[in-house]
């Protein structure tokens, strides 16, 4: 079955950086658009970034543009999210997601989801 496993979260101070990883299995990774979403306490899950199947196209939420970088390594079936200049408002559970049907920024566009990794930013 399809599995997406995130890692790399943790507790960091404001201004710090993190690199999240998501390892995929059970799907044809190179045919899957990959996205990152996050859910802060008491808020709905929101789109963060997505990357096209071969990495030629990326899209970011306005709130993270310039600080977050999504990338992928199809040989390793892994997608990454580099986060710089972390802010307390970046505190959330970060989820990776896979979309084999096209591209999009809505939860419903993605068929496969990881279990999430917690990112906590202290001020």
Tens digits of residue pLDDT in 5-46: 999 999 999 999 999 999 999 999 999 999 999 999 999 999
Q: How far apart are CA 23 and CA 96, in angstroms?
A: 9
Q: How confident is the model at residue 95 (pLDDT cuts 50, 70, 90)?
A: very high
Instruction: Give me the residue label for tokens 């600080």.
Output: 67
Question: What is the predicted pLDDT for the residue at 103?
Answer: 84
CA distances from 116 to 57, 80, 104, 108 (A): 24, 13, 19, 17
Could you report the per-residue pLDDT of 37-81, keeping only the tens digit for each? 999 999 999 999 999 999 999 999 999 999 999 999 999 999 999
């Amino acid at each position: 079955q399809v599995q997406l496993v995130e890692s790399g979260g943790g507790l960091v101070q404001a201004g710090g950086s993190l690199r999240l990883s998501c390892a995929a299995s059970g799907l044809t990774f190179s045919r899957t658009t990959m996205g990152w979403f996050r859910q802060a306490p008491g808020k709905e899950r929101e789109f963060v970034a997505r990357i096209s199947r071969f990495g030629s196209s990326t899209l970011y939420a306005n709130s993270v543009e310039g600080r977050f970088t999504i990338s992928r390594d199809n040989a390793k079936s892994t997608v990454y999210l580099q986060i710089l200049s972390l802010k307390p408002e970046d505190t959330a559970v970060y989820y990776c997601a896979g979309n084999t049907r096209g591209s999009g920024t809505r939860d419903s566009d993605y068929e496969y989801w990881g279990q999430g990794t917690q990112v906590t930013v202290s001020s």
